[in-house]
Amino acid sequence: MDADVVVCGAGVGGLAAACALGARGFRVLLLEKMAEPSRVAKGEVLQPGALRVLREWGVAQRLESRGGLRLARLVARDTAGAPLMALDYDRLREQERWLLAHDYPVILEALADRLDGSVEFRRGVLVRDLLRDADGRVAGVRVAEGGQEREVRASLVVAADGISSRLRKSAGIPAHRDEYPHRLAAFDIADAPRVEQDFSAYVSERGLRLRYPLPGGRCGCTCRWVRTSCAGWIPTAWPAGSSTWCGTRRRWNRWRTRCGRARRTGRCCRCPGSWRRAWAFRAGAGR
């Protein structure tokens, strides 16, 4: 047996599973196909329930020491910014009275730093498929690493390879998935105007905009909309006003610089909609 457990995928799910299993003394092999953590604008706001576990592991403290921001409230607002509803975390137990905002790669890094000595973490390893024994039971995985294929045998395989998990399908485990008709873009704005230390969800007829402060004076934004064109909507409907938030050429150029990857590859993790869509936002910013 190469390991007690092989965990496939090192997103927050796989890293957390490896942390928990390693802390119990299991020999864990954690495999991730990406050579480097991807700079994805997702999973940046941690809720009190997750923070309770992360605090036990010392990960929440690490995130705060690396600039993580405490957010006191989650507020649903109308388009003018007036509160419609608020989740006030002051009502929770002490030590649990806030959300914590940080960049996703930093959250992954803090979890990876916490891995026990019994966990071996290998990047750049693609898990191709499940291995089965003579009885058809899962007995490990087949992986590709450095151009070579090999087998890894383990008592337990954890498929932490994301929402569309190929390993789950390969194991024949069904999962129900709700599809939503909305589109989504996530990005952050450098040098954003100072915003309240809360997680704000602006509700409008055309969709939902989420806004939260991030370390370094940045602001994280996620927009979900239901119509095809978002130009003119995302920038102009922010309550602080499009000219302050997005209307200057300089700020959009910064975003464009970040999105340079999209120009080369056609894909960009910081604006999942694509580079063309980034230009559509920018075009709308002037209106």
Ligand X SMILES: Cc1cc2nc3c(=O)[nH]c(=O)nc-3n(C[C@H](O)[C@H](O)[C@H](O)COP(=O)(O)OP(=O)(O)OC[C@H]3O[C@@H](n4cnc5c(N)ncnc54)[C@H](O)[C@@H]3O)c2cc1C
Which residue ranges make up the site for ligand X (CB under 6 A)?
8-14, 31-34, 42-45, 126-127, 160-162, 184, 186, 222
- Least spacing, CB of residue 165 vs ligand X, in Å: 7
Minimal CB distance residue for ligand X? 11
Give the nearest distance from C-beta 11 to ligand X in angstroms: 2
Toward ligand X, which CB reaches closer, 23 or 247?
23
Give the nearest distance from C-beta 199 to ligand X in angstroms: 8
Distance of closest approach, residue 61 Cβ to ligand X, in angstroms: 18
Nearer to ligand X, 269 or 286 (CB): 269
32 or 103, CB closer to ligand X? 32
Closest approach of ligand X to the CB of residue 29, in Å: 11
The nearer residue to ligand X, 23 or 248, going by C-beta atoms, is 23
Choice between 72 and 184, CB closer to ligand X = 184
3-state secondary structure the chain: CCEEEEEECCCHHHHHHHHHHHHCCCCEEEEECCCCCCCCCCCCEECHHHHHHHHHCCHHHHHHHCCCEEECEEEEECCCCCEEEEEEHHHCCCCCCCEEECCHHHHHHHHHHCCCCCEEEEECEEEEEEEECCCCCEEEEEEEECCEEEEEEEEEEEECCCCCCHHHHHHCCCCCCCCCCCEEEEEEECCCCCCCCEEEEEEECCEEEEEEEECCCEEEEEEEECCCCCCCCCCCCCCCCHHHHCCCHHHHHHHHHHCHHHHHHCCCCCCCCCHHHHHHHHHHHCC
